[in-house]
Amino acid sequence: MAEAPGDLLSPGFMHQLERLDVLSRKILQGKLQGERRSKRRGQSVEFADYRNYVVGDDLRFIDWNLYARLDRLFLRLFLEEEDLSVSVLLDASRSMDYGQPQKLAIGRRLAAALGYIGLVNYNRVSLYAFADSLLGQVTNLRGRRPVPKMLEFLLSLEPPETPPETRASDAPGRSGLGESLRHFALAQRSKGLVIVISDFLDKGDVGESLRYVAADRFDAYAIQLLAPQEVDPVGGGVVGDLRLRDIEDGDIAEVSVGQALLRRYKANLQAYCHHVRDQCRRRGIAYMISDTSVPFETLVLKYLRERGLLG
C-alpha cells in the first residue's frame, strides 16, 4: 500500500495531468447541454451573475473592477457555467489485493489521476470504494483545495478483512459489483460521467450489474485491470499440483496445472474479458482493459486519451 500522497501522484506527474481534462461523449454530442463547464468562460458564454470568491476558484474570472470599488472579491458567473459531475468508482474487493504490481495499488493511482484532472478543471468530483457493497465515499469535491482529502481517502482503502464465509454477498444470486452499482445509481440525482475501475472478476451477471450505470443520465466508462500473473499464470508461478483458494469467497479447488489446463484457462479468461467488453458495448459503456505491468504514465497519458476519456 502507498504510504504518502506522493506515492499516488508525484508533483511532476500532477503537472502533466493539469494539461488534460475529462471528456464526455454525450456532452460532445450535445445530449447533456449545459452540464459541462466551458473552459472559455467569459469569452463565448453569456454573463449571468456574481458570487463571492472562494479559495481555489479560477482567478481569471474575478471581477477586478468590482474589487477596486468594494474591496471584495467576486467571481463572474455565466449561463453555461454548470460543471461536469465526475464519479469514480474503485473496486476494493479482495480480488484486487493481488498481483505484482497489485491491482488495487494501480487502481488507487488511476482514481487519483482522474480525480485530480477533474478537480483542477473545476468539475464536481466524487470517489467511491466498493466490494460487496459501497465501502466509503468522498463526494462533491471542487477545485484544488480538496486534493489532499481525496488522496487521503484513496490511501485509506484496503480490501475487507471479514472472513468470506460470513459476507452477505455469498448468498445465492447476490453480486458485490451489482449491489454496489445499484446503491450508487439510486443515490445519484444528477447527470454525469461515471468511471468504474475494477477487475470485474465477479461471480454475478456482469451485464445485469452494469445496467445500473447504463442509464441515459450517465456517460459510463469501464476500466478493467488485470494482474500480469492472471494473464500469464506460468510467469506467476502457478504450475504443478496445487490447492487453490478463491480469494473472494473461499472456494477451494485442487488442480494439476499442465499445458492443457493452461490453454483452457487462457481461453476462458479471454472469453470472459470479451464478454465484459460486449456487455459494455451493448449498454453504451466505453470499455478498456489493461494489465498492471503497463507503465502508469502510459496508461493515463496514452491509453485513456486514445479511448477518448481524456483530452
* 280 pLDDT above the threshold of 90: yes
Report how far apart, in Å, the C-alpha atoms of 17 and of each of 22, 171, 301 are.
10, 42, 8
Note the pLDDT of residue 261.
Answer: 75
* 192 and 162, same domain (yes or no): yes
Note the pLDDT of residue 56.
Answer: 72
17 is a domain residue = yes
- Percent pLDDT > 70 in the chain is 77
* 50 and 169, same domain (yes or no): no
Note the pLDDT of residue 76.
Answer: 75
Angle (nearest 5°) at CA 169 between 163 and 172: 120
Residue 247 grid coordinates: 480469494
216 is a domain residue = yes
Q: Which of 50, 78, 106 lies at the terminal end of a domain, its last residue? A: 78
* 143 and 162, same domain (yes or no): yes
* 48 and 127, same domain (yes or no): no
237 is a domain residue = no
Mind listing the pLDDT tens digit for each residue in 150-170? Answer: 999 999 999 887 654 544 444
* 288 pLDDT above the threshold of 90: yes
Listed residue (122, 119, 44, 29) closest to 79, CA to CA:
44
* 19 and 53, same domain (yes or no): no
Note the pLDDT of residue 37.
Answer: 45
* 73 and 87, same domain (yes or no): no
244 is a domain residue = no
Question: What is d(CA 152, CA 291) in angstroms, rounded to the nearest whole number?
Answer: 25
Question: What is d(CA 26, CA 132) in angstroms, rounded to the nearest whole number?
Answer: 30
Residue keyed to cell 478537480: 119
Note the pLDDT of residue 42.
Answer: 43
217 is a domain residue = yes
* 117 and 158, same domain (yes or no): yes
Helix (H, G, I), strand (E, B) or coil at 103: helix
Mind listing the pLDDT tens digit for each residue in 231-258? Answer: 988 765 566 555 556 666 666 666 666 7
- Region 264-277: mean pLDDT is 93
Mind listing the pLDDT tens digit for each residue in 100-142? Answer: 999 999 999 999 999 999 999 889 999 999 999 999 999 999 9
Q: Which of 35-44, 143-152, 247-256 has the highest mean pLDDT?
A: 143-152
* 44 and 171, same domain (yes or no): no
Angle (nearest 5°) at CA 125 between 119 and 127: 120
Number of domains in the chain: 2
Over the chain, what is the mean pLDDT?
83
Note the pLDDT of residue 130.
Answer: 96
* 132 and 226, same domain (yes or no): yes
pLDDT top residue among 195 and 189 = 195
Domain residues for the domain of 174 are 5-26+83-230+287-306
Note the pLDDT of residue 216.
Answer: 86
Residues 6+ apart with CB under 8 A from 135: 92, 129, 157, 160
DSSP secondary structure, 16-41, as one string? HHTT--B--HHHHTTTTTT-S--TTT
Note the pLDDT of residue 35.
Answer: 41
* 147 pLDDT above the threshold of 70: yes
Hey, which residues does 199 pair with through a beta bridge?
none
* 22 and 119, same domain (yes or no): yes
* 2 pLDDT above the threshold of 70: no
CATH of the domain at 187: 3.40.50.410
Contact 236, 210 (CB under 8 A): no
Contact 80, 49 (CB under 8 A): no
Note the pLDDT of residue 40.
Answer: 39
* 15 and 44, same domain (yes or no): no
Note the pLDDT of residue 180.
Answer: 95
Please count the residues of the chain. 311
66 is a domain residue = yes
Question: What is d(CA 145, CA 150) in angstroms, rounded to the nearest whole number?
Answer: 10
Contact 199, 96 (CB under 8 A): yes
281 is a domain residue = no
Note the pLDDT of residue 234.
Answer: 74
* 52 and 122, same domain (yes or no): no
Question: What is d(CA 140, CA 127) in angstroms, rounded to the nearest whole number?
Answer: 9
pTM for the structure as a whole: 0.79
250 is a domain residue = no
